[in-house]
Amino acid sequence: MKFDLTGKHAIVTGGGSGIGRAISRAIAEQGAYAHILDYNKDSADSVVEEITSDGHQASSTFCDVSDTKQMAEVIGQIGSKAKLDILINNAGIAHVGNIEQTSAEDMDRLYAVNIKGIYNCARPAIELMKEQGGVIINIASIASTVAIAERFAYSMTKGAVLTMTYSIAKDYLEYGIRCNCISPARVHTPFVDNFIAKNYPGKEKEMFDTLSKTQPIGRMASPEEVAALAVYLCSDEAAFATGTDFPIDGGFIKLNG
């Protein structure tokens, strides 16, 4: 089977919803054991139920990726029971606003999850992977490389995700650790639906169509499309890919303007 992950153990942060849910399901379908880490335990448990009811393997753990000590303990516990092969740093939060609309508290909140969260997970994972190699995938964004209006703090954090990816890939080549990032454009998740409903009541369809057309291809990505790319990057078929940003953006970066 192409992209076979049988026998591999994978951590997915934020695996209880949206892109993380799709990635957790996809890697489990390819044979991996999905360790789903999420701040919402109920959501994570629901995804575990979906995966195991299909005959695949998964478990859930409540955690806060911004908590350095907790993440070291959680990842260490997983590593004490199984060889950690894959880490997918998917957990993240958003903020809408330019610099004047972004408080110091907003900056700290996004830094804690989107940047420090990757540090808190990658550091203990790398310690486990150094003996046998492994794969790290960070979920970045088109905002890592192009300007998006009113995304000051979010763009700051996703730019850091991109450069952390490059650094990890460079520093751990000799250990057989591959590190790449995926940069989606707008993805149709419950977050998007909730954002539209909250900010554009009565105009949901109009705004959904407008946001969809932001991508030159004319629609948003599905979480499953992002998950398929993640599966490839986790697999042995991607053994030659490291230190690279993989946009999945409907032509947004190159075809807009």
Provide the residue-wise pLDDT of the chain in tens; the chain has 257 residues: 899 999 999 999 999 999 999 999 999 999 999 999 999 999 999 999 999 999 999 999 999 999 999 999 999 999 999 999 999 999 999 999 999 999 999 999 999 999 999 999 999 999 999 999 999 999 999 999 999 999 999 999 999 999 999 999 999 999 999 999 999 999 999 889 998 999 899 999 999 999 999 999 999 999 999 999 999 999 999 999 999 999 999 999 999 86
* Residue 245 covered by a domain: yes
- 39 included as an active-site residue: no
Tell me the whole-structure pTM to 2 decimals.
0.97
Position 195 scores a pLDDT of 86
Position 129 scores a pLDDT of 98
- The one catalytic residue among 154, 166, 172, 175: 154
Q: Which is nearest to 12 in space by CA: 30, 29, 33, 37?
A: 37
Position 257 scores a pLDDT of 62
* Residue 201 covered by a domain: no
* Residue 233 covered by a domain: yes
Tokens encoding 109: 């909140």
Domain span holding position 245? 9-187+222-255
Number of compact structural domains in the chain = 1
* Residue 119 covered by a domain: yes
Position 191 scores a pLDDT of 87
* Residue 136 covered by a domain: yes
Looking up residue 128, the CATH number of its domain turns out to be 3.40.50.720
* Residue 211 covered by a domain: no
pLDDT tens across 62-102, in order? 999 999 999 999 999 999 999 999 999 999 999 999 999 99
Question: Which stretch of DSSP H or E encloses residue 36?
Answer: strand 33-38
* Residue 204 covered by a domain: no
* Residue 206 covered by a domain: no
Position 256 scores a pLDDT of 85
Spell out the residues 6+ positions from residue 3 whose beta carbon is closer than 8 angstroms to its own.
30, 231, 232, 234, 235, 237
CA distance 91 to 195: 18
- Long-range CB pairs of 100-108 (<8 Å, 24+ gap) are 101/150, 101/152, 102/152, 102/153, 106/153, 107/153, 107/156
